[in-house]
Amino acid sequence: SASDWSLRLVRSDAPLSPDHVPALEEIERGELFDARAASALRVMIAEARADGYPVYVCSCYRSYETQREIYQDHINTYEALGMTPEEAKAATLLAVNYPGGSEHQLGLAADLLESENQPMEPEIGGTGLMLWLEEHCAEYGFIIRYPEGKTDITGVEYEPWHLRYVGQSAAYIMANGLCLEEFLSRLG
């Protein structure tokens, strides 16, 4: 059902309130995740490591305020590179969700990399850990939230490192090459 807690759509046009904070559990290194799905994330990370892939938990839960700071930092960086405020905002929104519009605040998103220094660039898709995640994440209830070729629907560029917990729906979503928006539209 589209009303299931694990299927909540969060975007700039479907934001969370600034005070939304789910029940959280620590995953590792102080990174927090929704307590209802934390064990699934821990098991997936352990299995990837058991298969020989290093996993660095880059980012999980973020508060509204943290997201606001990240969003503004990106705008400031683009403006410092010579973009107009409008251009900077447009470029930022392709990579960083507006405060309240981030799944990280929902507590069901995790950015996983092979190392702390691995660049968060679309080019890492289909290699190493990213390939393993694409092939196995659904087994643990996760999807690649911003899949390749879906930017026109999600509003966010391809991010192979950004995983979203959706529970049992993950297998169908991944097997059919859908993004969350497409899946939810099929549910009605």
Residues with active-site annotation: 159
How many other β-carbons are positioned within 10 Å of the β-carbon of residue 112? 26
Strand pairing of 56-59 and 31-34? Answer: unpaired
Listed residue (134, 111, 135, 121) closest to 56, CA to CA: 111
**21-49: buried (b, 16+ CB within 10 Å) or exposed (e) per residue?**
ebeebebeeebbbbebbbebbbebbeebe
| 134, two tokens | 């694409």
Measure the N-to-C terminal CA separation of the chain; round to a whole number of Å: 9
